[in-house]
Amino acid sequence: MFKFILEHPWFFTAEYFSQFEHNQFVDEFFVKLQLSALYRSKRMPKAFHDSLRDKKLRRLLRTAAHLPFWAGKIKDNTLIPQSPLSRLRSLPVMTKDDLRSVPIEDRTNKEISAKFGILNYTSGSTGEPVSFFTDKRLHTHIWAILLRIAGTEKIPRQSVIHLWPSPNPNFSFQNSFYAKAMEELRDRRKEIYTLISRPKSIVLGFPSLLRFLSDIAEEDNIMLRPQLIIVAGEALTPEMRLFLQDRFHCKIVNHYGCREISVMAGECESGRFHENSEDVIIEVISENGFPLKEEEIGKLVVTGLNSHIAPFIRYQLGDQGFFYSDACPCGNPFPSFSFGGRTHDVTPIFLPDGSHILPYRLTGIFNRRFEKIRQYQIDHYAPFAFLIRIVRVGGYTKKDEQELLDDFKKTTCNSHVSLQYVTSLHSKGPKVLPYIKSF
Ligand SMILES: [Zn+2]
């Protein structure tokens, strides 16, 4: 039974989502079911995980081969005896640009998306947003995965409080405070305090937003004591971890995820990230796409084993890292890795009126227009002065330009802004950063 749940994490919830009203208690029951399967899986030997991975991978490749985008890439070579893993490694690496070059229908499983799809898009942290469908049947599974990373058995009845800088249409994101602006978080702070003050509350958010929240709570003389804090989205420095622990007096759990594939790994007490091997395959490859050995730093590419609605296969996220060659001292049997060269800028940007904002306030302006902007880069070349480079897509008009400029000027307190339209940003390096400070 537990093997079946791991193989088909969407199975039980499918009926539920298609027929019944969403209900918190039923939800908890499914999370419990998933969680017990996941804990049991963690105790299983490597051979078990290898066979689970092969089975899931074989099925994913089969499903993907029916979609126009993948059909040409995943050749039907069933006659050649090959393990699913070596078949995977023979496939090209996918970038956001590759996915965006075809209509979303060409890389979407229509049957599943009609029933369970939620239109989603990347947060654009690499400056290249792309749209895709999220499978809402995986909602309880994703939550269970987070609980396993947190090392908890308890399933709080209270809602989780999300502090996120951009709206996420994912079904799992309810009770969210999309703090696009710090002022927004400040305006709604009473509501947030009340939610966090309920027993056993869990806060899921960006470290920078949690830090800001703790600052305003301190000004208000409010002590916030959630049961647990789960962070993601930005690098969690040891200093920031200690700071948050000190302010909130609770365990801080860090995980690695993305909107396309959701939760992919969790950080353990030894400071390593452990792959969720039941759900993803993370590979480290060289610049030329060759697989690298353990301890060698390279590009991380990810395959989402549950991503049947919109397959993400050998998908390049823009992060760099390496796998450890030894077993992790924490005892977690899943492969462990660390990042190298992950770039998440959390340096404040100072504005003419003496206030400051974080870079995502600026990137948000472009991410909200992802249908019309293929890529962008904000070059903060002097204090209060910005040069924006944009790669447009069809349909971008003068009116869009004016609205964008108005938005940018408003956010930056009338700083100097100039626009430059370019055809490519790749000359700026393999990973185009959406925000750079060059003074
Ligand atoms: Zn570990």
Q: How far apart are the CA of 324 and the centre of ligand 1, in A?
A: 10
- Domain residue spans in the chain? 1-344, 349-437
Helix (H) or strand (E) holding 121, with range, is: strand 117-121
Q: How far apart are the CA of 340 and the centre of ligand 1, in A?
A: 17
Q: How far apart are the CA of 43 and the centre of ligand 1, in A?
A: 14
Q: Give the per-residue pLDDT at 13.
A: 76
Q: Give the per-residue pLDDT at 359.
A: 79
Q: How far apart are the CA of 235 and the centre of ligand 1, in A?
A: 18
Q: How far apart are the CA of 90 and the centre of ligand 1, in A?
A: 30
- Sheet strands (E) in 38-87: none
Under 8 Å between Cβ of 206 and 180: no
Q: Give the per-residue pLDDT at 41.
A: 97
Summarize pLDDT for 237-290 with one digit per residue, the tens: 777 788 899 899 999 999 999 889 989 999 998 889 999 999 999 999 998 889
Q: How far apart are the CA of 118 and the centre of ligand 1, in A?
A: 33
d(CA 195, CA 224): 10
- Sheet strands (E) in 260-345: 262-267, 273-275, 280-285, 298-304, 315-323, 336-339
Q: How far apart are the CA of 273 and the centre of ligand 1, in A?
A: 7
CATH architecture, domain 1-344: 3-Layer(aba) Sandwich (3.40)
Q: How far apart are the CA of 283 and the centre of ligand 1, in A?
A: 18
Q: How far apart are the CA of 337 and the centre of ligand 1, in A?
A: 9
CATH architecture, domain 349-437: 2-Layer Sandwich (3.30)
What Rg value do the Cα atoms of the chain yield, rounded? 22
Q: State phi, psi for 399 to the nearest 5 degrees.
A: -65, -40
Q: Give the per-residue pLDDT at 429.
A: 42
Q: Give the per-residue pLDDT at 28.
A: 82
What dihedral angle (degrees, nearest 10) is formed by the CA atoms of 343, 312, 291, 80?
Answer: 180
Q: How many CB atoms are located within 10 Å of the residue 348 CB?
A: 12
Residue 217 has pLDDT above 90, yes or no: yes
DSSP state of 274: E
Q: Give the per-residue pLDDT at 333.
A: 95
Burial category of 237 from C-beta neighbours within 10 Å (exposed 0-12, middle 13-18, buried 19 and up): exposed
Q: How far apart are the CA of 326 and the centre of ligand 1, in A?
A: 11
Q: Mean pLDDT check: name the lowest of 75-84, 302-311, 348-357, 396-405.
A: 75-84
pLDDT tier for residue 34 given thresholds of 50, 70 and 90: very high
Q: How far apart are the CA of 111 and the centre of ligand 1, in A?
A: 39
Q: How far apart are the CA of 265 and the centre of ligand 1, in A?
A: 11
d(CA 119, CA 130): 11
Q: How far apart are the CA of 180 and the centre of ligand 1, in A?
A: 34
Handedness of CA 64, 31, 21, 172 (dihedral sign): negative
